[in-house]
Structure 1
Amino acid sequence: MHAIVIREPGDADVLQWEDVPDPTPGPGEVLVEVAASAVNRADVLQRQGNYAPPPGASAYPGLEVSGRIAALGEGVSGWDVGDEVCALLAGGGYAEKVAVPAGQLLPVPDGVDLVEAAGLPEVACTVWSNVFMLANLRPSERFLVHGGGSGIGTMAIQLAHALGSRVACTVGSDAKAARCRELGADVAINYREDDFVEHGPFDVVLDNMGAKYLARNVRALATGGRLAIIGLQGGARAELDLGELLRKRGAVHATSLRARPLDEKAEIVRGVRERVWPLLESGRVRPIVDRTVPMAEAAHAHRLLEDGAHVGKILLTLEK
Structure 2
Amino acid sequence: MHAITIPEPGGPDALAWTEVPDPVPDAGEVLVEVVAAGVNRADLMQRQGFYDPPPGASPYPGLECSGRIVALGPGVSGWAVGDEVCALLSGGGYAEKVCVPVGQLLPVPDGVDLVTAAALPEVTATVWSNVFLVAQLRPGETFLVHGGGSGIGTMAVQLAKAVGARVAVTAGGPEKLERCRELGADILIDYREQDFVEELDKVTGGVGADVILDIVGAKYLQRNVDALAVNGRLAIIGLQGGRKGELDLGKLLTKRAAVTATSLRGRPQAEKATIVAAVREHVWPLIAGGRVRAVVDRTMPMRDAAAAHRVLEESSHVGKVLLTT
Question: Which bin holds the TM-score, normalised by the shorter protein?
Answer: over 0.9
Structure 1 residue aligned with 2:54: 54
Structure 2 residue aligned with 1:255: 262
Q: 1:260-305, CA deviations, whole angstroms, 9 ceiling, x for partnerless residues?
A: 0000000000000000000000010000000000000000000011
Distance in 1 between residues matched to 2:16 and 2:76, nearest whole Å: 33
Structure 2 residue aligned with 1:40: 40
Distance in 2 between residues matched to 1:195 and 1:225, nearest whole Å: 19
Q: Which amino acid aligns with 1:305?
A: L
Q: CA deviation at 1:40?
A: 0.2
In structure 2, list runs of 5 or more residues that go unmatched.
202-207
Structure 1 residue aligned with 2:205: none
Q: 1:29-84, CA deviations, whole angstroms, 9 ceiling, x for partnerless residues?
A: 00000000011000000000000000010000000000000011111111110000
Secondary structure of the 2:37 match is strand
Structure 2 residue aligned with 1:151: 151
Q: 1:76-127, CA deviations, whole angstroms, 9 ceiling, x for partnerless residues?
A: 1111100000000000000000000000000000000100000100000000
| 1:286 matched to 2:293 | yes
| Equivalent runs, 1:1-80 vs 2, <5 Å | 1-80=1-80
Secondary structure of the 1:154 match is helix
Distance in 2 between residues matched to 1:145 and 1:203, nearest whole Å: 11
Distance in 1 between residues matched to 2:268 and 2:223, nearest whole Å: 32
Structure 2 residue aligned with 1:207: 214
| 1:234 matched to 2:276 | no
**Bigger shift: 196-205 or 94-103?**
196-205
Distance in 1 between residues matched to 2:11 and 2:192, nearest whole Å: 27
| 1:167 matched to 2:167 | yes
Aligned-pair Cα RMSD in Å: 0.4
Structure 2 residue aligned with 1:109: 109
| 1:265 matched to 2:262 | no
Q: CA deviation at 1:216?
A: 0.2
Q: 1:170-196, CA deviations, whole angstroms, 9 ceiling, x for partnerless residues?
A: 000100000000001001100011111
Q: Which amino acid aligns with 1:141?
A: E
Secondary structure of the 1:77 match is coil
Secondary structure of the 1:59 match is coil
Q: Give 4+ residue runs of structure 1 displaced > 3 Å after superposition.
A: none
Matched residue pairs, number?
A: 318
Distance in 2 between residues matched to 1:217 and 1:76, nearest whole Å: 45
Task: Give TM-score, length-normalised by structure 1.
Answer: 0.99
Structure 2 residue aligned with 1:82: 82
In structure 1, list runs of 5 or more residues that go unmatched.
none
Q: Which amino acid aligns with 1:248?
A: K
Distance in 1 between residues matched to 2:181 and 2:65, nearest whole Å: 28
Q: Which amino acid aligns with 2:310?
A: R
Task: Give TM-score, length-normalised by structure 2.
Answer: 0.97
Distance in 2 between residues matched to 1:143 and 1:46, nearest whole Å: 30
Structure 2 residue aligned with 1:176: 176
Q: Which amino acid aligns with 1:278?
A: P
- The percentage of counterpart residues that share the same residue type is 72
Secondary structure of the 2:71 match is strand
**1:299 maps to which of 306, 318, 321:** 306
Distance in 2 between residues matched to 1:238 and 1:163, nearest whole Å: 32
